[in-house]
Chains A and B, each alone.
Chain A
Amino acid sequence: MDPTRRAILLTSAALAGNVLMPQRSFAQQQPQRGGVMTVHFATEQRILNPSLQASTGVYIVGGKIQEPLVDLDAAGRPAPCLAESWESSADGKTITFRLRRGVTWHDGRPFTSTDVQFTAMEMWKKILNYGSALQQFLDAVETPDAQTAVFKYARPMPLNLLLRALPDLGYISPKHVYESGNIRENPTNTAPIGTGPFKFLQYERGQYIIAERNPNYWRENLPYLDRVVWRVVTDRSAAAAQMEAGQILFSPYSSLTIADLQRLGRDPRFDVTTKGNEGNARTNTLEFNFRNPILADLRVRRAIAHAIDVPFFIENFLGDFAKAGTGPIPSVSTDYYPTEPMPQYPFDRRRANALLDEAGHRRGAGGTRFTLRLTPAPWGEDIALWSTYIQQSLQEVGIRVEIVRLDAAGFLRTVYNDWNFDLATGWHQYRNDPAVSTSVWYRSGQPKGAPWTNQWGWQDDEADRIMDAAQTELDPAKRKALYADFVRRVNTELPVWMPIEQIFVSVFNKRLRNYANNPRWASSSWHDLWLAS
């Protein structure tokens, strides 16, 4: 057996398959009606309504049942959904949405501008995570007629920011269902009513959720599928086996083990890809606690970054699903990704040692300079690997690292509320615009205990000024330049290091058609998805 030759043969077979596939499977096939889409549902949620909770675990279900005002098209540009068009006033304080006519809720009532008004004021502004920050200066939504919603802001709201945030933070709920009683405790939260292509049917906790075709969907003759079934499978290896047995056709958001993703990627029955997740980019972080005087020294932070060989880690542990990051704005975000090079910290062990010596941390007994505690977040296999890799890399430059492993609740409490850590590592989720969930990692004055925000004890007037200016800048070109200044500043000061860029990995059964055709596909409505027999 000659493994090299075999590998080459396999690769060429795969390449030939790739070249032939498009013609065979897409161009000459008419969409078929019917069929059941089965989805891997790894983390059960307390609610399924995306106007109340912005998270991938909610979108994967609620995004088929409810719809946002604005969606993203195949190229990632804002596209009409429940809103047909929009415009902003010159001062950026009034944004008008013209709504689609003839849309009805699943219970038969018409969709109107009062639904938009109610959802924006009562849900986005008061309850929705990230929504409450985004809509902080939303004063009112006026409804001159049933098809017009006028958003009034106290401060200028860049139209680009709002349009990029709304596909995730712009889902509409029916006012007539929610207007009386406590919104958080409404039973509709786990049995959502929307305008989307699929109607909620049943939720059996710990087992499955079923939604069926909405015959009155506003996109004529769509959707193609009869049903969508989400199967609750918490064990990653079992989920991979169910993919292979055909019980699950789609596993979203990197929910399988890295080894299984690589294995299924070689199997001709599956497509393992980052395609369709470009709108869900994340970076791996290394967070420094400035209350530890050792880490408050910029030289030490830079030395730590220089001591870790990121390309080596990516190549050997994460494979094709990750690449080296250059800062808080990932390269998929073409609207804001800085065009000029930013300060970086390439692997250079000698420089790391020199910086540590310069900072006055001489090697002591056993070659150790000092000891730090590293608290990794419990989500994602990559974080566990990355934390071990950090530990071993820092050992080489004389920094001893103790890893403190905690579960989700324990991690959030210990790092972001008790500040009881030296180094922490997890994910920073980028949500299409840096103002949504990125600047909070750096802006000072975050309330104590708010997770994934600046809890490092780091404050920088220059960085704060840039972020505040960008938040309300209406000119897209100026905004982009401001965010370049922002990246330059935080890459120089390094309060958080973001050296790896990842996009979630999806596994598709190749019987599926029209999958991954927009940058937030797992969250999107699947109205044009169909199944080949």
Chain B
Amino acid sequence: MRVLALAGRRLLSSVPTLLLILVGIFLLLQLAPGDAVDALIAQTGGGADAASAAAMRAEMGLDLSVPAQLANYMWRLVRLDLGFSSIYGKPVSTVIFERLPATLLLMLAALSFAFFFGLVLGVLAARRVNGWPDTLISTLGLIFYATPSFWFGLMAIVLFSVHLQWLPAGGFEEIGSGFTGLRRTLDIATHLVLPTLTLGLIFLAIYLRIMRASMLEVLSLDFVRTARAKGLDETRVVVRHVLRNALLPMVTLIGLQAGTMLGGSVVVESVFSLPGLGRLAYESVVQRDLNTLLGIVFVSALLVICVNFVVDLLYARLDPRITP
């Protein structure tokens, strides 16, 4: 119950931020020349007559003034109506919910991969600080961090799909295969291996650096010396005493990066032809589909707020001195 009340309070306090973001994006997109009808005509290759273009503008409400359009949008949002997507010809909520599973799956897989291996490699590096494992791990981390993800993705496709033919080169699942149950899960998993690695490696590098630094810091604290003096073996010291305290900055990072991952996957989604929110957002900007873009911003902002809420709860679990 207390958690629910807390969640409600959190959501309320983020309403002003959400409003600011939505209005800001709405106004920013007004600065871009051209509207959804121009984008549609660009796609058809011309030859449209002026009357039908005007009719379409009226149908989409694009002939109204900017404040009137904004007011219309906000009024719909209050009634939890995200509007109609001009590109997809469906309600925005449907369009977004179709894309959400792929995005969340990719984000969760990449985050868990980065978090787990970042943690393990960070601990290993800290345990052998300045030794060869540390140098090797740190160098690898630097390489992962410095490599652009589109290049990483393309090279992974060239190696694993074109030359070795181990994994599919793109897509979310085998098209028209009719797989169900476990077979389908496996199929989707094999399609997600390369995108997860590509998206996860950059974040892995960050987690690794943070974990290493944080471990080194905690290792030098007094209570670690006390634990050792008690005669605890090294594994127990590291796992029970050091790791738990060193995890705090990592958890903070997850909260921060959940947002980045949602937006940052445009590149990975395009390279691997995945139907995610990042590509949808990019297309909405190019097509001037304001409703869809604002809908995505709204949903992503909600997701980030949720993730940060969970992170706050985790803090309290890891460190009893903090109360959410």
Contact = CB atoms under 8 A, between A and B. Distances in A.
Interface of A: 36, 43-46, 53-57, 126-127, 129-133, 185, 189-190, 201-202, 204-208, 210, 227, 229, 231-235, 237-238, 241-242, 244-245, 247, 406-414, 417-418, 429, 437, 440, 447-453
Interface stretch (B43-51, B231-239, B310-318): B43-51
Given A233-B273, A234-B279, A409-B35, A245 B165 contact: yes
A206 B280 contact: yes
Given A127-B52, A247-B170, A409-B38, A234 B287 contact: no
A36 B43 CA distance: 28
B24 to A, nearest CB: 20
A129 B42 contact: no
Contacts of B259: none
A411 B42 CA distance: 9
Interface string B250-281: 00000000000000000000111101000110
Given A46-B89, A205-B88, A206-B275, 17 more contacts: A129-B41, A129-B48, A204-B275, A206-B99, A238-B157, A241-B157, A241-B158, A241-B162, A241-B170, A247-B161, A406-B34, A407-B34, A413-B33, A414-B33, A440-B47, A451-B41, A452-B46
B243 interface: no
Nearest to A36: B176
B175 interface: yes
Contact of B273 (A185, A189, A232, A429): A232
Nearest to B49: A132
A205 B157 contact: no
B32 A450 contact: no
**Top-5 shortest CB links A-B:** A409-B34, A130-B47, A206-B275, A129-B47, A413-B34
Given A55-B44, A57-B43, A231-B273, A238 B49 contact: no
20 contacts: A36-B176, A54-B44, A206-B279, A206-B280, A231-B171, A231-B273, A233-B273, A235-B270, A235-B271, A237-B271, A238-B153, A241-B162, A241-B169, A245-B161, A411-B34, A412-B42, A417-B38, A437-B47, A449-B53, A450-B48
A254 to B, nearest CB: 14
A413 B38 contact: yes
Contacts of B122: none
Contacts of B43: 43, 45-46, 55, 57, 408
B33 A129 contact: no
Contacts of A55: 43-45
A57 B40 CA distance: 12
Interface residues of B, number: 52
A266 B146 CA distance: 33
A437 B46 CA distance: 9
Contacts of B88: 46, 205
B319 interface: no
A69 B150 CA distance: 45
A409 B158 contact: no
B18 interface: no
A451 B150 CA distance: 34
A45 B47 CA distance: 17
A298 B34 CA distance: 31
A415 B15 CA distance: 40
A229 B176 contact: yes
Contacts of A190: 89
A161 to B, nearest CB: 15
B175 A407 contact: no
Nearest to A232: B273
Given A234-B273, A410-B32, A245 B157 contact: yes
Contacts of B27: none
B98 interface: yes
Nearest to A131: B47
B88 to A, nearest CB: 6
Point out which of B41, B270, B283 has the most chain A C-beta atoms below 10 A from its C-beta. Answer: B41
Nearest to A451: B46
A238 B283 CA distance: 18
Nearest to A452: B46
Point out which of B47, B50, B170, B287 has the most chain A C-beta atoms below 10 A from its C-beta. Answer: B47
